[in-house]
């Protein structure tokens, strides 16, 4: 396995993690960076499974769980916009 095949998903993971840490003003930006991290993990898993010649059933289960995570994040975003009017984290307070 070449260094490019495994280095690229790791690079994608750290780019997504950096965006998640530094762009935490809006909920939609954080959800997009989380989806990018999940996509990089899926890409790395797919490359590993393809390299070793395993079946792709686990990758389909992982993809299903990541779609469920995305739908849950979007429902939280819609609920937050309906109740607060925006998706800023400064307007969202858990302790009220």
- Is 89 within the bounds of a domain? no
- Is 40 within the bounds of a domain? yes
CB–CB of 29/19 below 8 Å?
A: yes
Residue matched to tokens 């990541």: 66
The answer on pLDDT for 18 being more than 60 is yes
Q: Which residues contact 4 (CB under 8 A, 6 or more apart)?
A: none
- Is 80 within the bounds of a domain? yes
The answer on pLDDT for 29 being more than 70 is yes
CB–CB of 17/37 below 8 Å?
A: yes
Beta strands in the chain (DSSP E): none
- Is 95 within the bounds of a domain? no
The pLDDT assigned to 94 comes to: 61
Give the pair of three-digit tokens for residue 56: 């792709």
Q: How many domains does the chain have?
A: 1
CATH number at residue 17: 1.10.287.3510
Quickly count: other Cβ atoms within 10 Å of residue 70's Cβ: 15
- Is 94 within the bounds of a domain? no
- Is 96 within the bounds of a domain? no
């Amino acid at each position: 396995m070449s260094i490019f095949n495994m280095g690229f998903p790791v690079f994608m993971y750290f780019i997504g993690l950096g965006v998640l840490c530094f762009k935490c003003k809006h909920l939609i930006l954080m959800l997009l960076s989380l989806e990018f991290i999940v996509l990089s993990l899926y890409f790395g898993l797919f490359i590993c499974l393809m390299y070793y010649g395993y079946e792709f059933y686990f990758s389909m289960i992982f993809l299903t769980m990541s779609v469920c995570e995305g739908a849950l994040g979007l429902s939280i975003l819609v609920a937050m916009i309906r109740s607060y009017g925006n998706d800023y984290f400064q307007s969202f307070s858990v302790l009220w």
